[in-house]
Copies of this chain bind each other. A is one copy, B any other.
């Protein structure tokens, strides 16, 4: 009956398929996986010790994809305003073409498994650091302290990740989500430029502007 090989890959892809059809990684069953992959239940044990290990490997598989995406992303952005626009567009486009990976990331980031949560968090942390360093290196917002840039990067990464769920399954709102995201980022950085202003300073500033 042996037709093709690569059972391990088949199982992982089966998981991604099931997850997009609204399931959660940690709730997948061994037999369910095998069924979806068209394999015998016990084949699972040839590749993974148990379901926890499987979850981690799926996460690893996804992390590879994401890292590739982030690396591509680094080859963009010129002016500050344009940078945020193009970057946001690119990121959402990426999420759109990797719905399974996106879904599992969002689900498990706050999911029941502490192991997966931790793994995902450090993955996000790494992405945020990369983003922040990129911004600093290119001096896109030189008026903001590096530590602050890191902080905002962390917030932004999370914000985009969550919004990407809506972006994926609400096609009618994609335009709006993208614009909101851009506003989010711009406000965050511009607000940060005024971090050490007092209330009164703000008031006088506003008066002078209008």
Chain B residues whose C-beta falls within 8 Å of the C-beta of A206 in the assembled complex:
143, 193
Chain B residues whose C-beta falls within 8 Å of the C-beta of A5 in the assembled complex:
none
Task: From known contacts A151-B180, A184-B155, A191-B190, infer whether A24 and B80 are also in contact, taking CB-CB under 8 Å.
Answer: no
Chain B residues whose C-beta falls within 8 Å of the C-beta of A27 in the assembled complex:
24, 26-27, 112
Interface size in chain A (residues, C-beta < 8 A): 42
CB distance from A146 to the nearest CB of B (A): 15
Q: Does A159 contact B (CB under 8 A)?
A: yes
Chain B residues whose C-beta falls within 8 Å of the C-beta of A152 in the assembled complex:
187
Chain B residues whose C-beta falls within 8 Å of the C-beta of A110 in the assembled complex:
106-107, 110, 162, 165
Q: Taking chain A's interface residues, is the majority helix, strand, or loop, or is none over half, making it mixed? A: helix
Are A194 and B190 in contact, with the CB atoms below 8 A? yes
Q: Does A192 contact B (CB under 8 A)?
A: yes
Are B190 and A111 in contact, with the CB atoms below 8 A? no
Are A187 and B183 in contact, with the CB atoms below 8 A? no
Q: Does A173 contact B (CB under 8 A)?
A: no
Chain B residues whose C-beta falls within 8 Å of the C-beta of A183 in the assembled complex:
151, 192, 195
CB within 8 Å of B: which A153-205 residues? 155, 158-159, 162, 165, 180, 183-184, 186-195, 197, 199, 202, 205
Q: Which residue of B lies closest to A181 (CB)?
A: B155
Subset of 17 A-B contacts with CB under 8 Å? A22-B113, A23-B112, A24-B26, A80-B199, A110-B162, A143-B206, A151-B180, A155-B180, A186-B191, A186-B195, A187-B191, A187-B195, A190-B190, A190-B191, A191-B191, A193-B206, A197-B209
